[in-house]
Structure 1
């Protein structure tokens, strides 16, 4: 069996998801996971984890699913034999971040494991001051592009930068750093952007703890008992 994540747009109405699952079953596929990424204006964007007997059935699967009225397949990507469980991935990544003992280890874990959790092709941590890249993973854009993107995103507040739907970012609270994640031609949906923000908050909390521990080691008398 081979496992795929199938991202679909479907009408937000009773029976639509069941019709899609029926079409997947018609090509001997098995739906083993569902993640609702976004809803609004009568449309839902879902990710289905599907197991197929063989990879050659992917094109037939797409054709069958798109036979359902109002349904469009946005993306199909293969995943490992263990499949993909977004909730478990997020918990495992959070545990790894909380276990990091140094800032370097923390940021490296954030970009490596964050890429997997977010389904990103690349991730980077950008210093909000000079705009330099502290660490990156995957084929990230240039440092100048990342600095300009973060500056524009901060200036725009809650507005998503136009033309950058396949890039998501969030600040790490309290440490003047930002997490940026991207992929090719597959937009980040509302739930995924919340996941980016949640990972950034976890990393920011741990970064402050690491910083305090480092300060205490450097100045033990500052935290010692008063004679």
Structure 2
């Protein structure tokens, strides 16, 4: 089982080593670590681990969270295999078929972000232009705006929304932590590159 854990830890020598050792003692193999932020003496890192399933994923998070000064902000399953470069694969598919850029991007977002579903919505009416597999048919949040990137949590969902060629892209997950600003920035940059490949008028997503 592949899991992602978001861990906040002291930004000092030895702290990361303690976390790595704790993963090893629990039988979790670290496959990838991504630094999301470093500020005010703390770091927030995303760890992708291979977990043999000897106990529930929540227990892994609880045990790591027992380390002094360490907080586990979320544990959730992921299908994003480290080293597979899925972002590049998505961009390659869009470059080969730019007319289907929105469909390809929406379908890829859940795997890229460790999310449940994604959808492209028309801003005036909120009607669905395309929804990924497992999209529930509607977005259960009324306060989303297509004008700027935003991350919110409501109704048991964590949601990220970014402008998308005159529409907006919504990505949602029910497990794990709220979308970090680094994830929101990743979505925004990916949309910008997709827009260049597809020949969109990028002033519409400004």
Q: Which TM-score band (shorter chain)?
A: 0.7 to 0.9
What CA deviation, in whole Å up to 9, does each residue of 1:170-192 have, x standing for no partner?
213xx312211111252111210
TM-superposed deviation, 1:43: 2.7
Which residue of 1 is the match for residue 196 of structure 2? Answer: 205
TM-superposed deviation, 1:123: 0.8
Which residue of 1 is the match for residue 95 of structure 2? Answer: 98
1:84 and 1:74 map into 2 onto residues whose CA distance is: 21
Seen in structure 2, the aligned counterparts of structure 1 residues 87 and 39 have a Cα distance that, compared at 3 Å, is farther
Alignment RMSD, CA only? Answer: 2.8
Which residue of 2 is the match for residue 170 of structure 1? Answer: 162
TM-superposed deviation, 1:101: 4.2
Contact 1:9 1:45 in 2 (8 A): yes
Q: How many residues align?
A: 196
User: Relative to total residues, which structure has the larger helix share, 1 or 2?
Assistant: 1
TM-superposed deviation, 1:70: 1.4
Out of 82, 85, 90, the residue aligned to residue 85 of structure 1 is: 82
User: Relative to total residues, which structure has the larger strand share, 1 or 2?
Assistant: 2
Which residue of 2 is the match for residue 139 of structure 1? Answer: 135
Seen in structure 2, the aligned counterparts of structure 1 residues 184 and 162 have a Cα distance that, compared at 3 Å, is closer
Seen in structure 2, the aligned counterparts of structure 1 residues 183 and 28 have a Cα distance that, compared at 3 Å, is closer
1:121 and 1:70 map into 2 onto residues whose CA distance is: 30
TM-superposed deviation, 1:140: 4.3
Which residue of 2 is the match for residue 56 of structure 1? Answer: 54
Seen in structure 2, the aligned counterparts of structure 1 residues 181 and 204 have a Cα distance that, compared at 3 Å, is same
TM-score scaled by structure 1? Answer: 0.73
Structure showing greater Rg:
1
TM-superposed deviation, 1:8: 1.4
Structure 1, unpaired ranges of 5+: 210-227
**Aligned with 1:139: secondary structure?**
coil
Seen in structure 2, the aligned counterparts of structure 1 residues 74 and 141 have a Cα distance that, compared at 3 Å, is farther
